[in-house]
Amino acid sequence: MAKEWFRLTAHEIRDAVLGGAVSAEEVTRSFLSRIEQVDSKVCAYVDVWRDAAISRAREIDARIRKEGFRGALAGVPISIKDVLCTKQGYTTCCSKILRGYRSPFDATVVERLWEAGAIFLGKTNMDEFAMGSSTENSAVQLTRNPWNLDYVPGGSSGGSAASVAADEAACSLGSDTGGSIRQPAACCGCVGLKPTYGRVSRYGLVAFASSLDQIGPFTKDVEDCALMLGTIAGRDPRDSTSVDLPVPDYCQALNKDIKGLRVGMPREYFTEALGGEVREKIEEAIRSLEKLGAEVVEVRLPHTEYAIAVYYIICTAEASANLARFDGVRYGYRSPRATDMRQMYHLSRSEGFGPEVRRRIILGTYVLSSGYYDAYYLKAQKVRSLIRQDFVKAFEMCDVIVTPTSPTPAFRIGEKTDDPLQMYLSDIYTISVNLAAIPGLSMPCGFTKGGLPVGLQLLGKHFDEMTLLRVADAYEKNRGFDIGHPPIN
């Protein structure tokens, strides 16, 4: 029986390929077989690049033989969220309005993974234009949680998280505007990192909310997370918001003790709203950190109660501006029913966008309109500054902050589709991180009695992903249980 290479982590695959234990082609075929076997149930992918992946694997094998190629991700199969531009395949943001669109260029992060020797398996499903917390807003299909197919995988990067959890990719790329990497990572039991805003180039990311969006990895363990971040991070002259700071070797954060580190527990995140089983697992994780020598201190984030309102004013305002370009004129969907220009704009956007995207565009246009700008948008920006200052003050008391990633584990498919506010509250513990532009990491810290993963969130100071990875790695190596694999055939 052929070895199940799809079960391994990215660093294990890379070491096996570079060490000659297996070819990149054999590894790639193993993942492609896995996709054929289980993706009809999980539906993580919207486009699988089988032939291109095999061709790329053969190219990597040849480079290793002839050139001694030693790429950091040599032979590692990776999936890509459909919000990132790729010359290969389509880039649709899982929206009808971009159906059939082919990008003429690759996103910077895609280029950097390619240069490191990665093999791209295809594009993953997502909430349309990254707007959602369950991947139920996709115009393409419904992705299911690999741990229980009746439950959502989280969102908006649900397909990326599910592809890693179901062993259909060694790693994946996602985007995080208000929790869209960390929340699905929690739901699917994998590691997900939102880097500091500016640490990773956004060039080639189809914009939702430009001051909040950030690209990051989904991985099976913390070492892979460090490896992926080190590959995609760094200044990009094509993105004026990317920061010109040295990129450390994030793998140097691994295998370190955390004695003496101060871990902050924000009082505002541990209220009655936190589900009992989730609270239990988070508190167990905090006790584990204490046993490893960390000092737990209470911190305050007093403006947390305003985060949801602030986020849904700012993100919808920016979405309204960013999505104005999809008008049926230059590219994308154009309504065949339009008889004049006014109708072309109206019908193309009404028919091309799904209900959640339309809702957010309308709300964003409203808060930016004359007479409401000062009352809503300007005030939200001022409160955003207060939220950012809360974190600055909290980090004077601690080195990292520990919180739940989500107030509940994954919920049933269809459970919240008729109640947008309840859906928005799924991100209550993640959105402040984007507003403050700090890094956040989610990792599994156990399972509910029903067998669903629970996510632990670690938050760090600006550009201090090293400490986040150090704490996450120490916890992972000492948490006393193995995540295992979802029970899908």
Active site residues: 81, 156, 180
Distances (CA, A) of 212 to 285, 431, 439, 456: 29, 9, 12, 21
Q: Residues 404, 407, 411, CA angle at the centre, nearest 5°?
A: 125
Distance, in Å, from the CA atom of 443 to the CA atom of 182, rounded to the nearest integer, reads 8
The tokens of 83 are what?
Answer: 């919000």
Half-sphere exposure (Cβ direction) of 237: Cα atoms closer than 13 Å:
0
* Cβ-based neighbours of 134, under 8 Å, separated by 6 or more: 127, 152, 153, 154, 155, 158, 411, 413, 416, 417, 423, 426
How, if at all, do strands 262-266 and 295-299 pair?
A: parallel
Comparing C-alpha atoms, which of 224, 275, 221 is closest to residue 452? 275
CA atoms within 13 A on the CB side of 307: 26
- Start-to-end CA distance of the chain, whole Å, equals 16
